Chain A
Amino acid sequence: MLTSKCMKGVNIGYPLKIKAVDLKESEVDFNPDFISRIIPKLDWTVLISAANSIGKNENLPENLLPEYEKNTEFLKRVHHVLLEIDVVNGELICPESGRKFPINNGIPNMILNEDEV
Chain B
Amino acid sequence: MDFIETPNKTQPYWLVKFKSDDDVRLLTNRSVSLRSSMELWAYSDTIEDLHRDMKEFPYELLSPYMQENQSFKIEVETFCYELLSPYMQENQSFKIEVETFCKHFTQKEKVDKLEAFSYLPVKGKVKLKNPDIVFQYIEYYGTDPKSPPQHPYMVFFGRWIGNGLRQLIQNLSLKTRKFIGNTSMDPQLSLLMANQAQVRSGDIILDPFVGSGSLLVAAAQFGGYVLGTDIDYLMLHARTRPSRITQKERDKDESVKANMAQYNLDHKYLDVLVNDFAIQFWKEDLRFDAIITDPPYGIREATEKIGTSKENCTISEEHLPTHIPKLLVCWFPIFRDDYNEDGLPTNTCLKLVANSEQILNKHTSRRLLTYEKIGEPRGDNAEHRNNIMDFRSKYYDTREETRKERRMRKALERHTKSDRKS
Contact = CB atoms under 8 A, between A and B. Distances in A.
Given A1-B283, A3-B283, A34-B225, A107 B306 contact: no
Contacts of A104: 237
A14 B283 CA distance: 8
Interface size class, chain A: 20 to 34
Interface stretch (A47-55, A69-77, A109-117): A109-117
B233 A111 contact: yes
Interface string A13-29: 01000000000001011
A110 B275 CA distance: 5
Q: A interface, by DSSP: helix, strand, loop or mixed? A: loop
Contacts of B236: 107
B237 A107 contact: yes
A114 B279 CA distance: 11
B32 interface: no
Interface in B259-281: 266-267, 270-276, 279-281
B175 interface: no
B212 to A, nearest CB: 13
A38 interface: yes
B239 to A, nearest CB: 10
Contacts of B270: 83
Nearest to B257: A106
A59 interface: no
B340 interface: no
Contact of B201 (A1, A3, A34, A112): A34
Contacts of A110: 229, 273-276, 279, 281
A2 B284 CA distance: 9
Contacts of A1: 282-283, 286
Given A105-B237, A107-B273, A117 B281 contact: no
Contact of A109 (B225, B233, B286): B233
A67 interface: no
B276 A28 contact: no
A108 B237 CA distance: 11
Nearest to A33: B202
Contacts of B215: none
B287 A111 contact: no
Contacts of A38: 202, 204, 225
A6 B283 CA distance: 10
Given A37-B202, A38-B204, A104-B237, A117 B274 contact: no
Given A28-B267, A108-B273, A109-B274, 11 more contacts: A1-B282, A2-B283, A6-B279, A6-B280, A28-B266, A34-B202, A105-B237, A110-B229, A111-B233, A111-B275, A117-B279
Interface of B: 201-202, 204, 225, 229, 231, 233, 236-237, 255, 257, 266-267, 270-276, 279-284, 286-287, 306-308
